[in-house]
Structure 1
Amino acid sequence: MSFDSVCKFIAETFTADLATWLLGEPVELARLEPSELLSSPIYADSLVLLESKELVLQIEFQVEPKAEIPFRMTDYAVRGFRRFPNKRVRQVVIYLRRSQSPLVYQTIFERDGIRHEFEVIRIWEVPASQFQELPGLLPFAVLAQTGDRERTLRQVSERIETIGDRGQRGDVAASAAILAGLVLDKGLIRSVLREDVMKESVIYQEIVSTAAERGRREGEQSLVLRQLKHRFGVLSSKLQQQVDMLSLSSLEELGEALLDFSSEADLAAWLQGHR
């Protein structure tokens, strides 16, 4: 799971906590699907859309700065104004990892008479104390402004232990562990944040499930490639690349189909039909 996807999960799970931080009050917000705003939601992985009766809040989490962000936010805004003409549209880009790039300071898009402004938060400039009161904000504390990240992580761990709901406690712990990986050693993170707590989290379970599926895919891919090499020798780089891109289910199908292949041409034809 990517860092911005974890942030998206946090924002959609702890909307009141996020609203308290960004809006100054726990405004009741509901999640919007990207399709509500974007006809082709090509930015959906890092985009969070939340709405209240008066407001549409657009949040973009980014690990690395990108030159296209100003235009992207302008695009969001125009679509938001069209879809929700009676609501304010507030936009915030949140950069997660410290960067010296001037791109993280860009808050304006200007071109051909068009000018649009949006907010930017460089999380490493925000005091860590702002993230240590509400459960949904705890995962961001280690990325924030602090003189001792390890000490801050331990404080976060202690605060997590006080969360009564087991599922929520696990979600916060797992999210904190993933985001801390941006700035701290994984061994240290594992020694501070309890794995038995994280196991209660849907994020943790998704990570474990993804890792298991990746392992099954790699095993199936290795078996299929060995079988193909045994039958046809070393594959061409083009065929090798196409096999490498197959999903687990397609690899399993290929493992059965290749028993009937008599030449590389049969493999090429099969791959062409399973793009």
Structure 2
Amino acid sequence: MFDSTCKFLAESFSSDFASWLLGEPISLTELSPTELSLEPIRADSLILLQSDDIVLQIEFQTEPDPNMAFRLADYRLRVYRRFPQKDMKQVVVYLTPSNSEYVYQTAFDIPGTRHEFEAIRLWEQPTQPFLESIGLLPLAVLTNTSDQAQTLRQVAGYIDAVPDARVQSNVAASAGILAGLTLEKDFINQVLRKEIMQQSVIYQEWKEELLQEGWEAGCQEGRQEGRQEGRQEGRQEGRQEGEQSLILRQLARRIGEVPPAARLSIQALSLDQLEALGEALLDFTEPADLVNWLQKNQAV
């Protein structure tokens, strides 16, 4: 959940993350692990962004990982094999405080080989820079602040000023999910306004993930919440969400990862439109096919 939220932020606001981690707001695009020559290690937590000159790898961690140094060294070699002319910056961002030696580790070191990387302990970072970029706002509450509740209120104020409703809802939901590492759910919902967060693509994915995990684990609380939501939202909405989830999975298999903007457009489709898209996507071969279909159907 936290991995996917951070990955969403880094890919959606890559220039903000470039300013933070590279020192300049250069334009970055996503680099798929499949473009490297070997199978990825834990691709679910891997964030790779690239420009013409540099590859930026970010690993967000809630818990120390004793294998992290090896993973970074391994990926450095993979990227060099594929892009020998590009520089590479590798950063591990630890989200929650820890005294483990691994959160201070900045090198993979074995006889004859040493590879260095950067480790950022978010709880040691000053808060103000994270309040100055939309894409970094959700991380602010985890920084070196003396009052996390007040920082979340500041974050909410900046989010309310975002003019784009989609960006606003996505950043609010991301802030709510990450704030859950340190603050109570009821307080988060009150400050960030749950009705705004519920409109975001990341919130919908998070809810689906939680419900699925609850059912698979046989969690009674998860089942009860699912039944309550089903009664409140109605059978029609449940069917529509199911159709959206199915179509997004099918699109991922046919054209690769669906961009955040296209995901939001798909979520705005009616049930009839979703069924039409389900038939049309069988002929898609590239992301442009999806964009063209959405434009023709006035969904973007």
Q: Distance in 2 between matches of 1:180 and 1:125?
A: 16
Answer whether contact 2:37 2:82 (CA < 8 A) is retained.
Answer: no
- Matched ranges for 1:85-96 at <5 A: 85-96=84-95
Answer whether contact 1:166 1:200 (CA < 8 A) is retained.
Answer: no
- Whichever residue aligns with residue 178 of structure 1, its letter is I
- Aligned-partner SS, 1:45: helix
- 1:76 alignment partner in structure 2: 75
- Aligned-partner SS, 2:19: helix
- Whichever residue aligns with residue 122 of structure 2, its letter is I
Closer/same/farther in 2, CA of residues 214 and 103 from structure 1, 3 Å limit: closer
- Aligned-partner SS, 2:58: strand
- 2:106 alignment partner in structure 1: 107
Q: What value does the CA root-mean-square deviation take over the aligned residues?
A: 1.7
Closer/same/farther in 2, CA of residues 171 and 38 from structure 1, 3 Å limit: farther
- 1:34 alignment partner in structure 2: 33
Tell me by how many angstroms 1:178 deviates. 0.5
Closer/same/farther in 2, CA of residues 160 and 186 from structure 1, 3 Å limit: same
- 2:8 alignment partner in structure 1: 9
Unaligned runs of 5+ residues in structure 1 are 220-275
**Count of aligned pairs:** 219
Tell me by how many angstroms 1:42 deviates. 2.7
- Matched ranges for 1:164-203 at <5 A: 164-203=163-202
Q: What TM-score do the two structures reach when normalised by structure 2?
A: 0.70
- Whichever residue aligns with residue 170 of structure 1, its letter is S
- Aligned-partner SS, 1:50: strand
Q: Distance in 2 between matches of 1:93 and 1:216?
A: 32
- 1:52 alignment partner in structure 2: 51
Q: Distance in 2 between matches of 1:124 and 1:130?
A: 13
Q: Distance in 2 between matches of 1:20 and 1:124?
A: 19
- Whichever residue aligns with residue 31 of structure 1, its letter is E
- Aligned-partner SS, 1:80: helix
- Whichever residue aligns with residue 104 of structure 1, its letter is V
Tell me by how many angstroms 1:216 deviates. 6.6
Q: What TM-score do the two structures reach when normalised by structure 1?
A: 0.76
- 2:152 alignment partner in structure 1: 153
Closer/same/farther in 2, CA of residues 38 and 171 from structure 1, 3 Å limit: farther
Q: Distance in 2 between matches of 1:132 and 1:215?
A: 34
For residues 81-140 of structure 1, the C-alpha deviation after alignment (integer angstroms, 9 at most, x for no partner) is 111010001111110101011110000111121011001110111011110011100000
- Whichever residue aligns with residue 46 of structure 1, its letter is S
Unaligned runs of 5+ residues in structure 2 are 219-300
- Aligned-partner SS, 1:61: strand
- Whichever residue aligns with residue 180 of structure 1, its letter is A
Answer whether contact 2:48 2:55 (CA < 8 A) is retained.
Answer: yes
- Whichever residue aligns with residue 106 of structure 2, its letter is T
Runs (4+) of structure 1 moved beyond 2 Å?
207-219
- Whichever residue aligns with residue 190 of structure 2, its letter is S
Tell me by how many angstroms 1:184 deviates. 1.1
Q: Distance in 1 between matches of 2:134 and 2:121?
A: 20
For residues 60-95 of structure 1, the C-alpha deviation after alignment (integer angstroms, 9 at most, x for no partner) is 111101111111110011111111010001111110
Q: Distance in 2 between matches of 1:36 and 1:137?
A: 27
For residues 161-201 of structure 1, the C-alpha deviation after alignment (integer angstroms, 9 at most, x for no partner) is 00011110011000000001111111211121111111221
Larger Rg: 1
Tell me by how many angstroms 1:212 deviates. 4.8
Closer/same/farther in 2, CA of residues 217 and 65 from structure 1, 3 Å limit: closer
Q: Distance in 2 between matches of 1:214 and 1:115?
A: 40
Q: Distance in 2 between matches of 1:41 and 1:160?
A: 35
Closer/same/farther in 2, CA of residues 218 and 24 from structure 1, 3 Å limit: closer
